[in-house]
Structure 1
């Protein structure tokens, strides 16, 4: 047994398993933060797009001097149209986002930039409920 020389150039099985365990734990934590960040980014982009669409129909109603309606339906989409006919745009909700039955406004009508419908648009999202509060008259909005 005296002639037996131990080689110290490699790693033991225990050391390799320990390193793999630490790498796995760090990777799983990073993945969860990435998923939460991407969900939050998706929700924020959707709410911002709805806000921009409301401002778009306000600008169209001023430019064309006609009534324009933005309607939110329960089939996971919303669209804007002229009252005399003709659709301006249609958008779908991202996965996991839907309008709640507790929204007090489903149609937003604008004429010459004036909002005739006011209330709360409520959306159920993976991060909780988001609200857009529409004030009467000038079309001002508040995101809660």
Structure 2
């Protein structure tokens, strides 16, 4: 039987994440979000633990689970989106709720080689593009969810 990862029963996403993202999936510890910026394949993992703004505030088991979920997601994203580099970051300067960005980067993207933040306005997805992205990613994602 798989070990149960402690999460908050009354967990809720920060309003800014709700506004800027689409919920895609539930991992044992984290919610997986898609940032509504079609300039990059940009995903966010949010541990379902209240009142945590930094990774060190998670208990040891949660820290290990976050690393597992982040690593598996990173490997999957670089393969599915045929990226050059994965950028993974937990900043929290604007949204204090702990969340970890996973951005697939290309040498040809509009911000390369700079960080993506503040380089250009967000370019929202069309409804059709979101459907296509989900069709591309979610079947492969379900396979790794079975390993977590």
TM range (shorter): under 0.3
Q: Larger % of strand: which?
A: 1
TM-score (norm 2): 0.25
Q: Which has the larger radius of gyration?
A: 1
TM-score, normalised via structure 1 length = 0.26
